[in-house]
Amino acid sequence: MDTVVVFGVGMVVLLLVVVLIYARTLARQRRSMEAPVPANPAVADARLDPGERASSAVAEQIEEMVRRRLEAYPDLAEVALDFGTVRDGTIDIWVDGDQYDDPEDIPDERIREAIKAAVEEFNAR
């Protein structure tokens, strides 16, 4: 009978060790998932606002750079601007609800120039 008790206690201890190891592994995984992702200075300004089309971080950063440039023009400061990324990787540009595949098709020269300058600045980094 003593052998059965010792065996039972040994099994309980072994089970507790396995549970503790499993719990520590889960805690480690949870901490690694919660760890902040290091900031990438190349896309530090990228942000996706509610209601915006899905886009790459690079497209979002260029969009923010364009927005900053447009603030210099009071009549363009509130323009609805959104960059999206199409499945083929190209950028889809939306200006006040109108979609443009090519920045050259945008009627306002100041917006075209702001996009061109932002892309040049991004590529110079």
Same domain, 31 and 59: no
- Ranking 40-44, 57-61, 74-78, 95-99 by mean pLDDT, the lowest is 40-44
> Quick one: pLDDT band at residue 86, thresholds 50, 70, 90?
confident
Long-range contacts of 84-89 (CB under 8 A, 24+ apart): 84/52, 84/53, 84/54, 84/55, 84/59, 85/54, 85/55, 85/56, 85/59
Shared domain check, 45 and 91? yes
Collect all residues with Cβ–Cβ distance below 8 Å to 47 and sequence separation of at least 6: 60, 64
How many angstroms separate the Cα of 97 from the Cα of each of 21, 25, 112, 114?
Answer: 55, 49, 16, 18
Question: What is the pLDDT at residue 57?
Answer: 79
Percent of the chain with pLDDT over 70: 66
How many angstroms separate the Cα of 21 from the Cα of each of 10, 31, 33?
17, 15, 19
Domain count, the chain: 2
Rounded percentage of the chain residues whose pLDDT exceeds 90: 34
Pair 58, 82 in one domain: yes
Range of the domain at 29: 1-35
- Judgement on whether residues 53 and 90 belong to the same structural domain of the protein: yes
Say yes or no: 74 and 105 in one domain.
yes
Are residues 58 and 8 part of one domain?
no
Mark whether 62 and 4 lie in a shared domain: no
Q: For the ranges 3-7, 37-41, 83-87, which has the lowest average pLDDT? A: 37-41
User: Looking at the structure, do residues 91 and 30 belong to the same domain, yes or no?
Assistant: no
Other beta carbons within 10 angstroms of residue 74's beta carbon come to 8
Task: Tell me the C-alpha to C-alpha distance, in Å, between residue 73 and each of 69, 77, 93.
Answer: 8, 6, 19
Per-residue pLDDT tens digits for 95-105 = 999 999 899 99
* Residues recorded for the chain: 125
Residues 60 and 85 in one domain: yes
Structure tokens at 44: 């530090």
In whole angstroms, give the CA distance from residue 44 to residue 21.
Answer: 39
Residues 9 and 55 in one domain: no
Average pLDDT, the chain: 77
pTM: 0.58
